[in-house]
Amino acid sequence: MRTVGGARRGLNLWLLQRASAVVVALFIPGFALYAGGRGSFDFAGWRALFAPVGVKVACLLFVAALLVHAWIGLREIFIDYLHAMRVRLPLLFLFAVTYLACLIWAADLLWNVK
């Protein structure tokens, strides 16, 4: 039977974890400055934040990087504490599917803010 995972894959994920971290770490202060510069919000003001297409794209990139980062992080934790493959693999699958759904949901939410 084929072994699941391997050293090469581990290295790729290690790098991807850092790359996604950089995207998230750049977005959070950037968005805080963008939003904070506009003071306090009512409903219309809050929606207006997400109206420009550039903001939608930046937010969706952020969500994508965050979800990749979260999945790799959970994988690290599962590898450390869940040694039974029949538990670990279904959980990784469950989170992958859930996060993919979250990404599609986030795109729908963002592009519905006119």
46 binds other proteins (CB under 8 A): yes
Q: Give the Cα-Cα-Cα angle 61, 67, 70 (nearest 5 degrees).
A: 140
Residue 35 lies near other proteins (rule: CB under 8 A): no
Q: Whole-angstrom Cα distance, residue 62 to residue 15?
A: 17
From residue 49 to residue 88, what is the string marking binding to other proteins with x (rule CB under 8 A)? -x---------------xx--xx-xx--x-----------
| Selection from 81, 104, 105, 85 nearest residue 93 by Cα | 85
Q: Is 21 in the site for other proteins (CB under 8 A)?
A: yes
Rounded CA gap, 11 and 91, in Å? 21
Minimum CB distance to other proteins smaller for 7 or for 42: 42
- Name residues whose C-beta falls within 8 Å of residue 32's C-beta, 6 or more positions apart in sequence: none
- Tokens, residue 106: 């986030």
Segment lying near other proteins (by CB under 8 A), choices 5-13, 82-90, 91-99:
91-99
Q: Which residues contact other proteins (rule: CB under 8 A)?
A: 18, 21-22, 24-25, 28, 40, 42-43, 46-47, 50, 66-67, 70-71, 73-74, 77, 95, 98-99, 102, 105-106, 109, 112-113
